[in-house]
Amino acid sequence: MTRKIALVGIGKIALDQHVPALAADPDWELAATVSRHGRVEGVEAFTDFATFLEARPDVGVVSLCLPPQPRYPYAEAALRAGRHLMLEKPPGQTLAEVHALQALAAAQGVTLYATWHSRMAEAVAPAKAWLADKVVKRAHITWREDVRKWHPGQDWVFEPGGMGVFDPGINALSVLTEILPMPVHLTAATLTFPENRQTPIAADLTFSGGVTADFDWRQEGPQTWNIEVDTDAGPMALRLGGNRLEIGGAEVVGEDTIMGEYPKLYRRMTELVDSGASEVDLSPMVHVADALTLGRRLVTDPFRF
């Protein structure tokens, strides 16, 4: 059965990933967009969310691609209108916002799916399966990318609620929390803030269980998205943001594209709606909140796009 869906916030990720993923999936029909400026050719476009909800009761599913700061009122309105709801990562600006949405979705009897696209990367499930019966001795995340390349001109990432370098870093934490065979908690953090910005541009994190992380948004040239794990059965590494798996130094899964992640998110949404379930795992966001609670502050040069 084809389901009608509306995309809200037609910007970078909606156009790069959500629109192509929906176009390729026969289970979904992109029936409307809601965005102040963005449009998708051939799709009915609204600029106001309340007007959309009133005009299109036939569209039962809404997918929010807005930045986290403006997202909550849209999410609340969608759930109150009885629509199933899918959230881009991170699912909100605060944990409490998402707890409120979870309670509302349950009360309304609709699906809430807080997506983590990096968990859908090709090598994440095989890495989780391999680690399941191993003892982790150490793990280190290196997540270094160029904010100017991935978020050109997006000042919201440096505003309160934008999470700064945790916007990509939470992708690494979504993979870490998926693959590790044991829970970890943050014990220390150093956060580096540009002197003219509200959120960090770099972060060094220490967790229980010998787990550490190095996030930096100032890396030009080749980008680095690695999770390296030492176990009682030797080393394992996830590279390319979870798309390549190496065990004992040899590649066992290899894929260098994130194009597969969003189709898998929409397939998962189909399953959740069909089974009347929700999926909201806030463990990656708990680590970010803890880093912002425990972090020591360093100040660095001003940052301008």
Closest residue to ligand NAP using C-beta atoms: 11
> Which residue number, 187 or 198, has a Cβ lying nearer to ligand NAP?
198
Residue among 9 and 295 whose Cβ is closer to ligand NAP: 9
- Catalytic (active site) residue 12: no
Question: Distance between CA 125 and CA 121 in Å, rounded?
Answer: 8
Q: Which C-beta is closer to ligand NAP: that of 86 or that of 139?
A: 86
Contacts of 108 (CB under 8 A, 6+ apart): 79, 80, 82
Shortest reach from residue 88's CB to ligand NAP, in Å: 4
Q: Which is nearer to ligand NAP, 66 or 127 (CB)?
A: 66
Phi, psi of 46 (to 5 degrees): -115, 150
Neighbours of 217 (CB within 10 A): 29
Distance in Å, CB of 211 to ligand NAP, minimum = 23
Please count the CA atoms within 13 angstroms of the CA of 26 that sit on its side-chain side: 1
What distance, in Å, lies between the first and last C-alpha atoms of the chain? 45
**What are the φ/ψ torsions at residue 29 (nearest 5 degrees)?**
-125, 115
Closest contact distance (angstroms) between CB of 230 and ligand NAP is 29
What string of H, E and C letters represents the secondary structure of 244-299? EEEECCEEEECCCCCCCHHHHHHHHHHHHHHHCCCECCCHHHHHHHHHHHHCEEEE
Of 133 and 155, CB closest to ligand NAP: 155
Least Cβ distance, residue 78 to ligand NAP (angstroms):
14
Token pair 């390549």 is at which residue? 244
**Residue ranges that bind ligand NAP, judged by CB under 6 A:** 9-14, 35-38, 65-68, 70, 88-89, 117, 150-151, 154, 167
Catalytic residue among 4, 89, 134, 137: 89
CB of 257 to ligand NAP, least distance (A): 14
Burial class of residue 263 (count of CB atoms within 10 Å of its CB; 0-12, 13-18, 19+): middle
Question: Is residue 204 within a helix (H) or strand (E), and if so which, with residue range?
Answer: strand 202-207
Which residues are designated catalytic? 89
